[in-house]
Structure 1
């Protein structure tokens, strides 16, 4: 395992859990009450904090315990160079993490790759998942479809040119939002700092299967969000989930890109809390 030095990253330091396979994952543990596990998206420099800093404090005030995880290969977590970063690896890592920190049941909240992991986890160990909150989740298209999306094409181009500084990060991140003026300079600095610690195999081996045909197996309530101007994941994916998962509802937002929780923060936080409070 490669434990990249992350002490100098401009991110808050929370807790660490070392799994039985030796992988050490970093997470923030904020608040008390029913557990919500936050699963961030992919892309250079991503971390739980940079994805969700405007959201989990509201959940804390509403009486929820927030586990904001840095996935393997991201944030302050280990970034091994000898693994395949496929969905099975992320789902098993999440299960090992829940075991290690003693969480039996929780709501999984995931954006993009994190949404795919949440769906994969609900299929792999349904007894541990109470509800799902999904923001433009992956895992409902073929890989070729994603790699034709403008945002992913740009991300691959920029990442392939070498280390990403703040300006290179801006080129990619501006496509995440419908209104790129909402991009925060601190966010760009956080992601640029993380990006230089990430191994090449993180993105070259990342593989998420199309789970559409298995969505009917998911019996837990699902609340989804999707921006109709998403340049990374096709918004039509929402209909695939609605057509196949028996207990799903989606909020579709126009003038919104890939980051619903950032662009429509107040609405996202309000609707999620109502969903979590609904018995």
Structure 2
């Protein structure tokens, strides 16, 4: 049986564009435009009754938390749940992004959910994407680093825990990208009985060394990725090679990237810069969309651009966590490498061979886990990939890791 016909959505704006009409309605449309690519997705105005031959069904919703907060959520659930199904996978996006960034991962993850009788969820962090844009503040004094970091982290991980309770989930496998990977580790440290496994894609905030990790590059990174790369076990020699390449790139930063980094270190978020400029903002987003999604069709790139434009122009909220969690120079104030050994669960680190996250942090973390008696730490390098990974290679690795859970 074919899926029901859907009313057409208005087309996405061209790239680049001036700031046009934005708001919750436009943001919802831009997200649905991406999710309609999934044949098993059902918009809210349609019945959620699946086709007889559909192994999964997907729908988006707001999961209400306490005090007028909510998390925007995509649920992909099996139509034939298995009693011995593995824990659901929860996809957690990076800084200033949203669940729509995973739209190319959802088809393969849905196949896994259908095959294993499990579920896959993706959500927008509180204060990001299409989740509630509530005020973000930290009460701790500037020199009280531990309390500052704890308050900022709790804003995100406590809302994730409340979401888990509302969804009625016992344990989860968390798959986090960049800052989402950082929060995944923090959540596991705070709620260890609720995490089955961690898969960390280009995790932020891992090493002690400030090195080259710069969140401003979320808007300026221009490296294309090759769809034919693959995952390989990381070796010390490979990590050293990647770090040497990063140091060369560090010396070649553009003036725009340096300006954004300076503003960020002074307390601005990169997205505040975008919202504050009538000309440069649309141009930056257009440039980012075109380069970041260079391998996509023109229609896919345009739709991603419109999605990014809408979530970026929403009221600033969770993005202001960055200066509390990361110090000037963009290394973590409380690096994960010094904290992660407390975990007893399987943890997989994944980096691109052209990543700008320092892979040494992952290598040292796996070693710290081993010394603490946890031999279930792994690390992979994705060839022909940057910070935003090669989709096919990552999908293959994700299924391998989820089946291993």
Structure 1 position 240, deviation (Å): 2.6
Query: Which residue in the other structure is 2:360 paired with?
Result: 236
Divergent runs of 4+, >6 A? none
Query: Which residue in the other structure is 1:48 paired with?
Result: 99
**Aligned equivalent of 1:119, options 185, 206, 222:** 185
**Aligned equivalent of 2:308, options 191, 195, 203:** 191
More divergent stretch after superposition (83-92 vs 66-75): 83-92
Query: Which residue in the other structure is 2:124 paired with?
Result: 70
Matched, 1:181 2:294: yes
Matched, 1:89 2:155: yes
More divergent stretch after superposition (104-113 vs 248-257): 248-257
Indicate how the Cα distance of structure 1 residues 18 and 212 shifts in structure 2: closer, same or farther if over 3 A, else same: same
Q: How does 1:215-230 map to 2 (within 5 A)?
A: 215-230=340-355
Structure 1 position 204, deviation (Å): 3.3
Counterpart CA distance in 2 for 1:108 and 1:168 is 31
More divergent stretch after superposition (136-145 vs 184-193): 136-145
Matched, 1:257 2:381: no
Q: How does 1:117-196 map to 2 (within 5 A)?
A: 117-141=183-207, 145=211, 151=217, 154=257, 156=261, 159=271, 160=273, 162-163=276-277, 165-172=281-288, 181-182=294-295, 184-196=301-313
Matched, 1:16 2:59: no
Structure 1 position 82, deviation (Å): 4.1
SS of 1:205's equivalent in the other structure is helix
Aligned length: 265
Indicate how the Cα distance of structure 1 residues 66 and 275 shifts in structure 2: closer, same or farther if over 3 A, else same: same
SS of 1:62's equivalent in the other structure is helix
Q: How does 1:32-43 map to 2 (within 5 A)?
A: 32=78, 34-43=87-96
TM-score, length of structure 1 as denominator length: 0.84
Cα-to-partner distance string for 1:197-220 (whole Å, 9 max, x where unaligned): 031x53333233312112111111
Structure 1 position 52, deviation (Å): 0.6
Query: Which residue in the other structure is 2:401 paired with?
Result: 275
Structure 1 position 276, deviation (Å): 1.4
Structure 2 gaps, min length 5: 1-21, 33-42, 44-59, 79-84, 139-150, 219-255, 264-269, 326-333
Counterpart CA distance in 2 for 1:107 and 1:18 is 22
Structure 1 position 248, deviation (Å): 1.3
Query: Which residue in the other structure is 2:74 paired with?
Result: 28
Tell which structure's C-alpha radius of gyration is larger.
Answer: 2
Structure 1 position 274, deviation (Å): 1.7
Matched, 1:61 2:120: no
Q: Is the 8 A contact 2:208 2:337 kept in 1?
A: no
Structure 1 position 72, deviation (Å): 1.2
Q: Is the 8 A contact 1:151 1:172 kept in 2?
A: no
Counterpart CA distance in 1 for 2:134 and 2:76 is 27
Structure 1 position 39, deviation (Å): 0.4
Structure 1 gaps, min length 5: none
Structure 1 position 130, deviation (Å): 0.5
More divergent stretch after superposition (72-81 vs 207-216): 207-216
More divergent stretch after superposition (206-215 vs 115-124): 206-215
SS of 1:270's equivalent in the other structure is helix
Indicate how the Cα distance of structure 1 residues 20 and 81 shifts in structure 2: closer, same or farther if over 3 A, else same: closer
Matched, 1:213 2:342: no
Counterpart CA distance in 2 for 1:149 and 1:47 is 15
Q: Is the 8 A contact 1:36 1:109 kept in 2?
A: yes
SS of 2:285's equivalent in the other structure is helix
